[in-house]
Structure 1
Amino acid sequence: MKIFLCCAAGMSTSMLVTKMEKAAQEQNLECEISAHSVAEFDDCITVCDVCLVAPQVKFKFDDFKREAEALGKGCGLIDMMNYGMLKGDAVLEQAIELYRSR
């Protein structure tokens, strides 16, 4: 499973990716997780399975979700508390649910 987090380009999203990778290792899940800016959405959604949108760019969520679903990909908005507290396990679980429900 390939997951990308879509953000404004901030450092906090990279820290969340690290926490998600650690949670995936603990669960023995094989996945690739990366963070990209909103400008990279179109390129990333074609090669990834799931996009998670950071709270600071939620104004783009409806457009991104529509595009992702048209390609058969999952797209969700990261909960602000999970994002702010860097809860990698919870955000990873969200990505897994989106992947399974597509």
Structure 2
Amino acid sequence: MSVDTETSGPGRFTALRTSLSEEFAAQTTRLKQLTTAGDPSEADNRAALLVATRQSLEHISGALRRLAEGTYGICEECDAPIPSERLEALPHARYCVACQQKRHG
């Protein structure tokens, strides 16, 4: 997913919002599929996929919330702008690299 952080104005994050919304819908569909009855021998696999899918939905919804609030791209710890390169690699990033490293040593 590519993030256009260089554009300014009202349409600055339109493509990102669309992309995140599409990914949210895809992950929601995946979650529904994983929660339906499946092969009992695959229960461990399914459980791991459920955890990963729920975490992905949490990350995406957080990014969409920050976009709506106007706080997207601002570190939640130090209030510094998160570099565009980091947002391109990790669109749901909540922290700048320095603060993320402090949080997870």
**TM-score, normalised by the number of residues in structure 1:** 0.33
**Higher RCO structure, 1 or 2 (CA under 8 Å, sep 6+):** 1
Give the structure with the higher percent strand: 1
Which has the larger Rg? 2
